[in-house]
Structure 1
Amino acid sequence: MRIAFYAPMKSPNHPVPSGDRLMARLLIRALELAGHQVVVISEFRTHAATPEAAAALEPAISAELERLRLSWRSEPRPELWFCYHPYYKSPDPFGPVISAEFAIPYVTAEASYAAKRDKTGWAARQKRVGEAVMRAAVNISFTERDRAGLCAAFPQARLAALKPFIDPVPFEAVSPAPDPIRLMTVAMMRAGDKMESYAMLAEALRLIEDRPWTLSLIGDGPMRQEVEALFAGFAGRIEWLGQQGEAEIAGLLARGGVYVWPGCGEAYGLAYLEAQAAGLPVVAQQTAGVPAVVEAGVTGLLTPEGDVTAYAGAVAALLADEKKREAMGEAARRFVLEERSLATAARALDEILRNSAATGVR
């Protein structure tokens, strides 16, 4: 099929790296691997930090909608509209309208809906999300949390599941050579959940400062100085590696012993899959979408949300237990390479689309 791909929060062509951008790119690659022709149909970002900023975007949204209408009258039309990650701050104001006017199926992936946002000034945008979910031939969820949320809000919506995945090729090319006391983290340094996770990690490491460990941090961002301040007390134990490319990350992770990232508010976290593909067991919290990418007790340890002492204890336990650490690392690598690969996802995604395009709303 010819597929129009749209990511209202952040285009896959956006210059700033993030989990959203990576997943958008992975979905495009999966669709292409399945034999579909994909075009990024619009670079327009509907993301707004406040309801006031959202309202200010409306004239530009109307102009972009009209541009799309005109282009589809003179160009070969896609046969399906695929929207990645619509939610209250970044709804899709184009796909549902265009798909209805040109009689093609509409599909969402990683859509989410939170009724509580209706009372905080986001009702108009929430309405758009709801209309998109109900119009969709299928809504593809990556986590049980998102699926349950859509099911509760829209019991008649068409739902399907696709497990989070990565391209394992860079990780297949490396051979794990772990340093047993080397902890690894890959994360952007920005406000919000990321800083909350960094703060929790620093606090947990203080509780096990008497144990032998080092920490290598891969990532950068606007709050680099604040992150450095959190770890300032660990003289000589922190390695700052900055932003790295895909191949470099794979090689660096393969040198680690344990992947540590609390995952506060994490949608699911592709970095967890990358770490496991490199042969690292994970220590994270049992929170948000993390259980969708880490098999608790098999490929890593998941601790109760907000329990810093339990988190520190789990890190210490893996550092001290070589046999368990190695077994989990081997299981983690198998888990990703065999079950969460791009090729596996491409087959599953293709089946979902072909089934929904044949039977879904047009």
Structure 2
Amino acid sequence: MKLAFYAPMKSPDHPVPSGDRRMGRLLWAALERAGFEVELASKLRSFDKAGDAAFQAAMQEEGRREAVRLIAKWRARPAEAPRGWFTYHLYHKAPDWIGPLVCEALQIPYMVAEASHAPKRAAGPWESGYAAAERAIRSARAVFHMTRLDGECLKPIIPPGHELILLPPFIDMEMFRKNAAPVDVAAEIARAGGRSDVQNLLCVAMMRDGDKMESYRQLGQGLALLARDDWQLLVIGEGEMRATVEKALSPIGDRAVYLGAMAPEALPAWYEFADLYVWPAHGEAYGMAFLEAQGYGLPVVAGDLRGVPDVVLRGVTGILTSPGDNAAFATAIDDLLSDPARRQSMGERARAFVAEERSIAHAASLLKSHIERIL
């Protein structure tokens, strides 16, 4: 059965890597693993960062034209038409102007994953995008939400007879391991000026403005409160905010070891080497790196906000602290660095959690059961 796939925020073949693009690709792979034939319906990117009414109007018209094109194409060749439409990540800044029109014309079910609904955006610079996203969500036969928080926000606008389904974030650890490249971790740390006789904290994050930058600031403030000297922070990431990140981490001095950007295949070696994964996760939907780290048996210390509890089991695979509580963050790290047995136990549970509950196989099974019933 063929499904049309569309990601208005960022197409899965977009040249710029991001967590959003990665989850789009994972969903595509999970749908294929579930037995569906997946076709990219459109590459139109409706994302409006600034809240520009003229841009939103232009995107609406461009979306209408795309819908007309697709409707004509599939009506002319009905054997090639999809049985359903699957949109990934729509919200007020990236509404789906295409899918609902196509589904109405072809009388096929519309389905969405990782939709967000924020009533506070009903008026203001994203007013039209908010209205379009809400209409699309209301029209969807199935809405797969990836965090419990999103589910609570979506529940009031799901019509009777339509489904709201929890599809937790997931990862393809088999592929991650298969593509892993050998890395001389000790040599890389030495080259970056790090030490070989300390415990290693790890964070993997792009250096960009906004939420990532705020997490780096909180990380520097929290780590500065550690009263011990047997650790260093391995920082994997690069970006236009590099100088600002270095300033944010300046309170820990040369304990911050900058390793630069790395290809995905190099990351497994670092997850296996590190002792603890640390990241405040300010403003993040959930954080794919948490799943990667846990998949390699690395326990986590993170902020307890938004979708983080959907990817880190509180007190089981890591410790979650109140957002912005730098002292609690530092205490959690200190506790785990002081207790290797607890750290090992959490790491083992983390590995099992990802393998059993956050795997692509688990996601594919869930998608298959719900979508086949709808089609």
Give, as a single letter, the amino acid of the residue that structure 2 aligns with 1:90. A
Q: Distance in 2 between matches of 1:187 and 1:264?
A: 12
Pair 1:214-2:232 in alignment? yes
Q: Could you say which residue in structure 1 is the equivalent of 2:147? A: 143
Q: Distance in 1 between matches of 2:256 and 2:125?
A: 43
Q: Distance in 2 between matches of 1:306 and 1:123?
A: 31
Q: Distance in 1 between matches of 2:66 and 2:43?
A: 10
1:314-342 Cα shifts (integer Å, max 9, x gaps): 11111111111111111111111122111
Pair 1:197-2:198 in alignment? no
Contact residue 56 and residue 128 of structure 2 kept, 8 A: no
What is the total number of aligned residue pairs between the two structures?
356
Contact residue 8 and residue 84 of structure 1 kept, 8 A: yes
Q: Please report the TM-score for the alignment, with normalisation by the length of structure 1.
A: 0.93
Structure 1 residues 220, 34: closer, same or farther in 2, change over 3 A? same
Pair 1:163-2:164 in alignment? no
Superposition deviation, residue 170 in structure 1: 4.9
Superposition deviation, residue 219 in structure 1: 1.7
Superposition deviation, residue 26 in structure 1: 0.3
Output aligned runs, 1:102-181, within 5 Å. Answer: 102-154=106-158, 156=160, 157-170=162-175, 181=199
Q: Distance in 1 between matches of 2:158 and 2:359?
A: 30
Contact residue 314 and residue 320 of structure 2 kept, 8 A: yes
Q: Could you say which residue in structure 1 is the equivalent of 2:10? A: 10
Q: Distance in 1 between matches of 2:351 and 2:238?
A: 26
Superposition deviation, residue 133 in structure 1: 1.2
Pair 1:254-2:272 in alignment? yes
1:107-159 Cα shifts (integer Å, max 9, x gaps): 00011111110122322221211111111110001111111101134464521
Which ranges in structure 2 are unaligned for 5 or more consecutive residues?
187-195
Q: Could you say which residue in structure 2 is the equivalent of 1:55? A: 57
Q: Could you say which residue in structure 2 is the equivalent of 1:236? A: 254
SS at match of 1:47: coil
SS at match of 1:5: strand
Q: Could you say which residue in structure 2 is the equivalent of 1:23? A: 23
Deviates more, 1:73-82 or 1:193-202: 73-82
Q: Distance in 1 between matches of 2:61 and 2:102?
A: 17
Compare relative contact order (CA 8 Å, sep 6+) and give the higher one, 1 or 2.
1
SS at match of 1:119: coil
1:29-69 Cα shifts (integer Å, max 9, x gaps): 00111111111111100000213332343343333233323
Give, as a single letter, the amino acid of the residue that structure 2 aligns with 1:122. W
Give, as a single letter, the amino acid of the residue that structure 2 aligns with 1:71. K
